[in-house]
Amino acid sequence: MFKNTIEDFNYKINSIIYSEENHLKKATGGIDLCNKTVSKLKEIVEQNDFETVPAEIDFFKNIKPLPMSYLIYYTEVRSCELRKPKTGTSYQIEFFEKEMRKINKFFSRNRDFVNYMEQGNSYIDHQFFTRNPGNNFPFTPMTDYYQHPEFSSSHDMLWSKIKAMYRFIHYIREAMQKLNAGNEMLFEEKKHKVLAWTAPKTALTELIYALHTNGALNHGAADINTIVASFEDFFNIKIDNIYKTYAEIKERKSSKTKFLEELMVNLQQKISKEDE
């Protein structure tokens, strides 16, 4: 019952992410979209509620955190854009370093829950992601967000913020690297040769969705847009509207996973030849 709302949100948020607007305008548009989407989800829940506990868990663990995490992310971005020093590279870098320290403190305070989620655990999801969790919480919930108890579990907001902070880290890293352009890198990373993606972008879309569906990155915590941003950085490529490309893949008359099947066949042939 949430499918159309989420598909519409994914399409629109992707348009905002890849628009040519500056960060402040993107944040303003993103906040407006996220607020409207969360309101729609709330209306659906109020009208229909959940038929089963697994359905309720899925909503508070996977569905609501999607727009909510972007709402938190764009709120943080907007705050940064408005508060950061207007001049002076050193002052601006110092500002972003303070923001990064705040993020580290946040992850440190919530390390038990972060570990639980990133390990792909589910054994106490009924406590974290239902509205009747009981009283024995293993980790501290974020009680500050109980404005709508009928539309909140104890930890869905915390999970949303964790997902938002992963994106916020990416925003800060990009901002600091732009400020430090031409100087030594601010972040020590492994040196690797520049790799260019030379297969079709539809092939890359297959790979991204396969990794996401399999939960192969960040123990399943990485969403599509986060994976796309990482692939763009690594392969120096612009991935335009991945949701549209994915929709086109689903409409294929022939194999819908052509590239992935080619990978499997070619690797199997290589192994067979080496074994002979």
Task: Give the other-Cβ count within 10 Å of 115's Cβ.
Answer: 12
Q: Distance between CA atoms of 141 and 139, rounded to whole angstroms?
A: 6
Tens of pLDDT, residue by residue over 55-90, are 999 999 999 999 999 999 999 999 999 999 988 888
Q: Distance between CA atoms of 56 and 101, rounded to whole angstroms?
A: 35
- Mean pLDDT, all residues of the chain: 85
Torsion of CA 141, 145, 147, 150, to 10 degrees: -40
| Residue boundaries of the structural domains of the chain | 1-187, 190-276
Here the contacts of 149-155 (C-beta below 8 Å, separation 24 or greater) are 150/45, 150/46, 151/42, 151/45, 151/46, 152/60, 153/60, 153/128, 153/129, 154/127, 154/128, 155/113, 155/128, 155/129
Residue with tokens 């991935």: 239
Q: Distance between CA atoms of 71 and 35, rounded to whole angstroms?
A: 7
Tens of pLDDT, residue by residue over 183-230, are 544 444 444 456 778 888 899 999 999 998 888 887 677 788 888 888
Q: Distance between CA atoms of 157 and 144, rounded to whole angstroms?
A: 10
Q: What is the mean pLDDT of residues 146-167?
A: 84
